[in-house]
Amino acid sequence: MRGQDRITLDPDVMGGKPCIRGLRVTVGTILGLLAAGRSEAEILDAYPYLQREDIKAALTYATWRVEEREVALSSS
C-alpha cells in the first residue's frame, strides 16, 4: 500500500490508533476535517508539521481499511 510508511500504529501513541508519522495526529482526525469540508490548505495551516503527502496517506489508509474484510476463525 502506497504511503504506508507515513501511517504508524503504536500502542503508546494515541491509544494505538493509526497516526501520521508517529505524531499525535490520527488518521481519523484528518478524515474528520476533510469530511467537515476543510481543505488540504486549511489542514496544513492548522497542523504545520504535516505534509500534503500525509493527507493523501490518511485517505489511502482509510480506503484500504474499509475494503478489508474480517473473516471469523472457526473454533473446531
Q: How does pLDDT run across 23-71, given as a tens digit for each residue? A: 999 999 999 999 999 999 999 999 999 999 999 999 999 999 888 777 7
Q: Find, among 48, 60, 42, the residue nearest to 2 by Cα.
A: 60
User: Which pLDDT band holds residue 1 (cuts at 50, 70, 90)?
Assistant: low
Residue 76 lies in a domain: no
Q: Find, among 22, 26, 39, the residue nearest to 65 by Cα.
A: 26
Residue 71 lies in a domain: no
pLDDT at position 42 is 98
Angle between helical axes of 27-35 and 52-67 (0-180°, round to 10)? 100
Mean pLDDT calculated for residue range 2-17: 87
- The answer to whether residue 11 scores a pLDDT higher than 70 is yes
Residue 25 lies in a domain: yes
Residue 73 lies in a domain: no
pLDDT at position 39 is 98
CATH code where residue 13 lies = 1.10.10.10
- CA terminus-to-terminus distance, the chain: 33
